[in-house]
Every structure is written in C-alpha cells, then in structure tokens.
Structure 1
Amino acid sequence: MTILKCSATTCMYNQKELCSKGEIEVNGSNARYADETCCASFQERTGGAAKNSFTEGCGCEKIQIDCKARECTYNDNCQCTASSIGIAGEGACQCQDTKCSTFHCQG
C-alpha cells in the first residue's frame, strides 16, 4: 500500500487531503510527463446525498493504487510501488484537472 497525499480537495472522496475511496486508479497509459496522468477515480464534490455518503467516512493514509501509466518507474504490473505519492488537483472539476505529481518516466 502507498501513502497518498491528495490536493484535489474538490473530490468527493477527499478527506483532509486523504482518500476515503479505499483505492484509486491513475490513468496515463502513454504518459511521458506527470501532466499527462490523472486520477481516474476523481469525482467532483457536489451537494446533497452523494456528498454526505462519502464525507462521513474517514480518509485513508495508505491506499491501493492501480496505475495505468506504463512508463512510470513505480509501475509494476499496473500497481504503484512508490512508498508515497501526491495527487495534484487543487480546484479540479474533472479527472483531467488532476495528475500524479510523483510520476517519473523510465525513459
């Protein structure tokens, strides 16, 4: 499991920069740079029942990360092996507004 720090505070799963989803998916199968990755699990926080159902859960410091960024140094069979990662996305409205700031291209 990987330690996750997430600045996408507009995500419905974000709890004080931790994730309440339990596992996330990072996309960017052809990424060569961090800006070409994103947190595919991002869901914009909205009002109503959907907001309440996730905000009551606690955020997890360690999380399972399924990584589709094939060229990342930390990707081992689509699993993130970094000890910790950062998901950037302050003010994000959709998953494309986020990125894995820990992404490091092998090549």
Structure 2
Amino acid sequence: MENISCSVINCSHNDGGTCYANKISVNGKKARTSVHTCCSSFLDESVYSNLTNNTNDNGSCKIALCNVKTCTYNAGTVCSLHDLAVTANASNANLYSETSCASFKCK
C-alpha cells in the first residue's frame, strides 16, 4: 500500500487528502457497488479533532484491511491495491456508513 487518499474532508485522519490513521478497515461484505462499502475507521473531526496530529509522526496510513469479500482487490483480509481512495457519500459524513471505498471493483 503506497497511499490512501481521502476526500472525506471532515475525517479526523484526513490531512490534505491523505489518510494518516494507523490503519483503516473497509467493510461491506456483500457489496456490489462502492456505495455499499464504508471506511469503518472514519472519525468525525468535530469530535476527534486531534487524531491526525497524533499519527502524522508515523507517516501516512499504509495498511488497509478489507472485509469486502466481493472486491477484486481483497487479498484475504488486506487490500492489494497500491493506491486506495476513500470518499464520502454526502458533503460531510456524520457516520462511517456515509463513506465508501472509491477504489472498489466487484468480482
């Protein structure tokens, strides 16, 4: 995993469009489209505002766990993509269920 880009502007792990969580987890076991996936690591910055500052020292997120059995890039429980994209299904996500994996590709 080289980069996890994030367009969920109000996620506490997002710093300039790059994810700085220690690791993320993408869920949506029986997804057929990206809308049926989610980043369960999403945390609203209005509640968890300083998490990005805590993880920046260790670099950007390098591990994406994948629990989406229907995704082409699921390699067991890890995403096999070099670059992964997470996006919001609304202008501001309030819950992790309002996020999705934009890189999802159904088998």
Taking structure 1 as the reference length, what is the TM-score of the superposition?
Answer: 0.86
Residue 51 of structure 1 aligns to a residue whose secondary structure is coil
How far is the alpha carbon of 1:56 from its aligned partner? 2.1
Percent of pairs with identical residues: 30
In the other structure, the counterpart of 1:30 is 30
Q: Give the 4+ runs in structure 1 shifted more than 3 A.
A: none
Asked if the contact 2:41/2:96 (under 8 Å) is kept, the reply is yes
How far is the alpha carbon of 1:99 from its aligned partner? 0.4
In the other structure, the counterpart of 2:49 is 51
- Distance in 2, Cα, partners of 1:96 & 1:77: 22
- Consecutive unaligned residues of structure 1, counting only runs of 5 or more, are none
- Distance in 2, Cα, partners of 1:36 & 1:94: 14
Aligned length: 102
- Distance in 1, Cα, partners of 2:98 & 2:63: 21
Asked if the contact 1:2/1:80 (under 8 Å) is kept, the reply is no
In the other structure, the counterpart of 1:80 is 79
CA RMSD for the aligned pairs? 1.5
- Distance in 2, Cα, partners of 1:102 & 1:70: 14
Asked if the contact 1:31/1:71 (under 8 Å) is kept, the reply is yes
Residue 66 of structure 1 aligns to a residue whose secondary structure is strand
Structure 2 letter corresponding to 1:104: K
In the other structure, the counterpart of 1:105 is 106
Residues 11-43 of structure 1 show CA distances to partners (whole Å, capped at 9, x for unaligned) of: 111111112212100000011111000000001
- Distance in 1, Cα, partners of 2:17 & 2:66: 20
Change in 2 beyond 3 A, CA 1:55/1:79: closer
In the other structure, the counterpart of 1:6 is 6
Asked if the contact 1:6/1:86 (under 8 Å) is kept, the reply is yes
Taking structure 2 as the reference length, what is the TM-score of the superposition?
Answer: 0.86
